[in-house]
Homo-oligomer: A and B are copies of this chain.
Amino acid sequence: MHVDGWKDKEVLVIGGAGMIGSTVASMAVQEGASVTVLDAMLPLYGGNMFNLEEIRDAITFVREDIRNEAALREIVKGKDVVFNLAAQVSYVRSNKDPLLDLDINCRGIINVLEACKESAPAAKILFSSSRFVYGAIEHNPVDEKHPFNCLSVYGIHKLTGEKYHKFYHDAYGLDTVSLRIANPYGPRQQMKHSEWGIVNWFIRLAMDSKPLTVYGTGSQKRDYVFVEDIARAFLAAASSPKTKGEVYNVGAGVGTAFMEMAHAIASMIPGTVVQQIEWPADRYFVETGDYISDIRKVQKDVAGWSPEVPFLEGVRRTVEYYNRHRKHYWIPQ
């Protein structure tokens, strides 16, 4: 079912201590929903209890792993909306350890869907997919029918996850939708390492007075999308009856050159140096060509949603957030 108003709705945010999950959870709380956050708090990933600081008293928090199928069946009972956001999120690691990625991003996702099928068959289920399903880009902007030229195990398994959601919709009538997220950034992302989320990582480097390194000319374009715009898309998609069984790109819908991104950050953190070096050979799998989301489908089906936070404003808010809360994310070296 789609959601007509969030007041007293039972909402489960799986992976809810991460950047996107905690932002979704905060918005759902603000809308008056009854929110449960589930997170495995795995050390490598983005789960951080500080992300939930402001809503800690308003939510139920459950530390659990989506690889535990029995626990999921209990937790999803009675839920009206399930945000299915937990994941192994490092494409670098997915290639080094494909079986780990399989275990979380395929087996875990099947577990969530099986649990919903058994214990919450009427719930709206929203899956966080990724632009990585497209891999090597053939044309821009990229619409949802673009070929799947996956360049990472992570991208392959996100595509597999989408297909699971579509299958459980087709076969069992679950009300699923997948959102293919472009390049997310914003407050509450982990800042421990650089395996994903280059915008946030550059913000950390600049705040630590380290140079920002750009490969080549830095002309490759990315679609950087602010976390609050993503979270609003998830909530709005839950409220739209048209999204049942569908898949949508979610991005800013505009391309920003990598170099421009670096200079935007540098402009807000005085003293930041941007330096250029040659492309290292082993960076091949990061470079997919320009990527710009075609977001017309989500704008058509999901009433009222459009990206609202321009890149400079998003960077400003992100820098401000970490200036205030840095100690909860990293210890400057």
Contacts and interface: CB of A to CB of B under 8 A. Distances in A.
Interface in A190-206: none
A111 to B, nearest CB: 8
B150 A156 contact: no
A285 interface: yes
Interface stretch (A70-78, A160-168, A235-243, A316-324): A160-168
A89 interface: no
A110 B99 contact: yes
A128 to B, nearest CB: 18
Contact of A163 (B95, B114, B150): B150
Contact of A148 (B152, B156, B163): B163
Interface in A101-130: 102, 106-107, 110, 114
B110 A102 contact: yes
Contact of A102 (B95, B98, B106): B106
Nearest to A133: B163
Contact of A150 (B95, B106, B157, B167): B167
A151 interface: yes
A37 interface: no
Nearest to A285: B171
A179 interface: no
Interface in A127-176: 145, 147-148, 150-153, 156-157, 159-160, 163-164, 166-167, 170-171
Given A114-B98, A160-B160, A150 B166 contact: yes
Given A110-B98, A110-B102, A167 B152 contact: yes
B99 A107 contact: yes
B163 A151 contact: no
A280 to B, nearest CB: 16
A137 to B, nearest CB: 14
A153 B107 CA distance: 12
Interface of A: 95, 98-99, 102, 106-107, 110, 114, 145, 147-148, 150-153, 156-157, 159-160, 163-164, 166-167, 170-171, 285
11 contacts: A95-B171, A98-B114, A102-B110, A106-B160, A148-B163, A151-B170, A153-B167, A156-B167, A157-B160, A159-B159, A160-B160
Q: Which 5 A-B pairs have the closest CB atoms?
A: A156-B163, A160-B160, A98-B110, A150-B163, A102-B106
